Structure 1
Amino acid sequence: MKFHFFHIIIFLVLVIVTTNGEETLPPQLYWKSMLPNTPMPKAITNLLHPSGYWSEEKATWVDVGKGGVDVGVRKGDNEGSGSDVNVGVGHSDSPFDYLYAASETQLHDKPSVALFFLEKDLHHGTKLNLQFTKTTSNNEAKFLPKRVANSIPFSSNKVEYILNKLNIKKGSKDAQIVKNTISECEEHGIKGEEKSCVTSLESMVDFTASKLGKNVEAVSTQVNKESEFQEYTIAQEVKKLGEKNKAVVCHKENYPYAVFYCHKTDTTKVYSVPLEGVDGNRVKAVAVCHTDTSQWNPKHLAFQVLKVQPGTVPVCHFLPQDHVVWVSK
């Protein structure tokens, strides 16, 4: 099921004044003030509203929907079980949710299956069947200013209020997506993982700086053009990024406005991987390798694809271009 586009009215202001009279910086300037030596990756710039903050007096329709992401119903969720919802009880449809077993949809989804590979294969000459699609568009869900995002609850206890606030019809597909994303964000992470779902760019910067400091690099997969499912070859100059094995990985969630599931672990290696497709397409991919998978669900998609057991060998995967990886310089 695809996330259908819908509109909400959001009041955006050019300069937001806090209660004590201090100005709140626009997200671009906040980034520069916090991370002056860190270029902003395309995965971030694509989500900044092109018009900046709009006048508070002008209510504007902001298109915040995003397509192309399937959703499933969590175990114990009795709502939305009608024909409009793809029910996958007990499973997450995200290949980056390591607590859940693979669904039948995932097992037959070639692009998702192809994301995973073993670290021993991460070298020049390895051939992999992959598909890269551009996920950005003018209609993609954008970042809200932190103050606006903070004014909208993000809690399963406030779902009805959220739906009303965002003008989403109860019982609709969009309402189910909101419920599922909040549910995923509220669940406990795996052992040794520090996680947070951030609802603004400022919150993402704050979370990352609190875990890695301010001397960081932010990277994302860069795709020149969309491609069909095809063979790619790892080119020369595979490069390990960051110090030690510490990283913060932020996965884009399916939500009316930009929300990222960010998590930090000390058992993650990050690589920049150049790829060349048989059609000539070149991709500068970001790969993440997990050196400790002992806490993952034994029936996770990666184990079923690679035919390995949890905690035995490092498991790697490529990241879509709308995800962001942070590493210490």
Structure 2
Amino acid sequence: MEFHLFHIITFLMLVLVGTNAAMLPPQLYWQSMLPNSPMPKAFTNLLHPAGYWSKEKARDASNGGLDVGVRKGYEGGGTYLNDEKIIPLIYFYPIPIPLNESQIQLDDKQNVTLFFLKKDLHHGTKLNLQFKETTSNNNGTKFLPREVANSIPFSSNKMENILNKFSIKEGSKEAEIVKRTISECEANGIKGEEKLCVTSLESMVDFTISKLGNNVEAVSTEVDKNSNGLQQYVIAKGVKKLGEKNKTIVCHKENYPYAVFYCHKTDSTEVYSVPLEGVDGNMVKTIAVCHTDTSEWNPKHLAFYVLKVQPGTVPICHILPQDHVVWVSK
């Protein structure tokens, strides 16, 4: 009789929970809930080694006595315009937060392709992009186990408590990043959007399964080597649509002291696997997200500025940064 992987993992979970030495690592929860879904690099880069979290460390973290990944001036994910500027994550999803012209940091002398029209999603289209590693195993923010993340406040009403826990000074750049992220997470979504900011990998898995079921796959843009600055890429042969209609969830990595993702499901999102070839020969396996209905978007969204189109007129696509993830139904 076959002893399924699920039963083995369930047994191990019971053993681990019954000990005081270590907490259940997020990767083990993933395996128990999604045994047939490989974990993308975007997530494996954000995991502590198995056994890193003890009950004692968890208590210290909850009490604010442990550095769980705060980095001075941390920026989280994003797409580079050049070596100096990073496009804020707000531009990758349609949160209706008022923007102003000073927030659009574009160099008009460069033909920067952050967004493109769906009609151009085919072999031969040229895009000017730069891929930089935004997470690694040695620096950047990491996932916390759900038990630890749930013990830390994540609310604008608890801002003073949050800043104190991470020894962040009020008025500092880090404090403003924390406030902005929580504000984005608490903002009302657009019509037809189901959204949640998840503070742990386990919470993301649960949210995804609740919306799409457990026959799902997580995919992300993967870069074998970083590009040497902004350069031209050509869409190669092999563009492929992923998932079923209306059955995708896009999760954007936020700027925060530990790994937090803004996950949202909309009925007007399509996902594609898009191979790119750079002029330097660099091949990149990217994920493109296309929004077929932008009528509810903020009129000052960066996509309209770049493409010179109006909300709700044409489908708009963009390449996901390496540390953003899309969940698709198989």
Normalization by structure 2: what TM-score?
A: 0.82
Confirm or deny that 1:267 pairs with 2:268: yes
Alpha-carbon shift at residue 165 of structure 1 (Å)? 1.5
Does residue 182 (structure 1) correspond to residue 182 (structure 2)? The answer is: yes
Following the alignment from structure 2 to structure 1, what is the Cα–Cα distance between the partners of residues 76 and 68?
Answer: 20
**Unaligned segments of structure 1, at least 5 residues:** 1-13, 72-91
The 5 Å alignment of 1:216-227 reads: 216-227=216-227
Per the alignment, residue 207 of structure 2 pairs with 207
Q: Are the counterparts in 2 of residues 93 and 106 from structure 1 also a CA contact under 8 Å?
A: no
| Alpha-carbon RMSD | 2.6
Instruction: Please state whether the residue corresponding to 1:149 is helix, strand or coil.
Output: helix
Alpha carbons 1:47, 1:258 under 8 Å: kept: yes
Rounded Cα–Cα distance in structure 1 between residues aligned with 2:46 and 2:272 = 24
Structure 2: which 5+ runs fail to align? 1-14, 61-65, 79-87
The one of 64, 68, 89 aligned to 2:70: 64
Distance, in Å, in 2 between the alignment partners of 1:45 and 1:195 is: 23
Deviation at 1:170, TM superposition (A): 1.9
**Are 1:95 and 2:114 counterparts?**
no
Instruction: Indicate how the Cα distance of structure 1 residues 204 and 69 shifts in structure 2: closer, same or farther if over 3 A, else same.
Output: closer
What one-letter code is carried by the residue in structure 1 that aligns with 2:33? M
CA contact (8 A) 2:68 2:257 kept: no
More helix by share: 2
Question: How many aligned residue pairs are there?
Answer: 293
Matched with 2:290 is: 289
CA distance, structure 1, for counterparts of residue 205 and residue 111 of structure 2? 28
* Shift in alpha-carbon separation, 1:61–1:153, aligned structure 2, 3 A: closer
Residue 169 of structure 2: aligned partner: 169
Alignment of 1:34-53 (within 5 A): 34-53=33-52
CA contact 2:23–2:54 (8 Å) conserved in 1: no
Cross-structure match for 1:106:
104
Alpha-carbon distance in 2 for matches of 1:205, 1:69: 20
Matches within 5 A, 1:115-126: 115-126=114-125
In structure 2, give the amino acid aligned to 1:63.
Answer: G
User: How far does residue 169 in structure 1 lie from its aligned partner after superposition?
Assistant: 1.7
Letter in 2 for 1:67: Y
Range 244-253 or range 186-195, more displaced: 244-253
C-alpha distance in 1, partners of 2:77/2:104?
Answer: 10
Distance 1:149 1:276 in 2: 39
2:149 is aligned to: 149
CA distance in 2: counterparts of 1:266 and 1:248, whole angstroms: 10
1:235 maps to 2:229: no
1:184-215 superposed Cα distances (whole Å, 9 cap, x missing partner): 10000110000000000000001111111100
Aligned to 1:327: 328
Write the deviation string for residues 209-232 of structure 1: whole angstroms up to 9, x where unpaired. 111110001000001111110100
Judge conservation of contact 1:195–1:263 (CA < 8 Å) in 2.
Answer: yes
Please report how far the alpha carbon of residue 52 of structure 1 lies from its aligned counterpart in structure 2 after TM superposition: 3.7
Structure 1 length-normalised TM: 0.82
Q: Report Cα offsets for 1:213-260 as digits up to 9, x if no partner.
A: 100010000011111101000000001000113210000000000000
Where 1:174 maps in the other structure, the secondary structure is helix
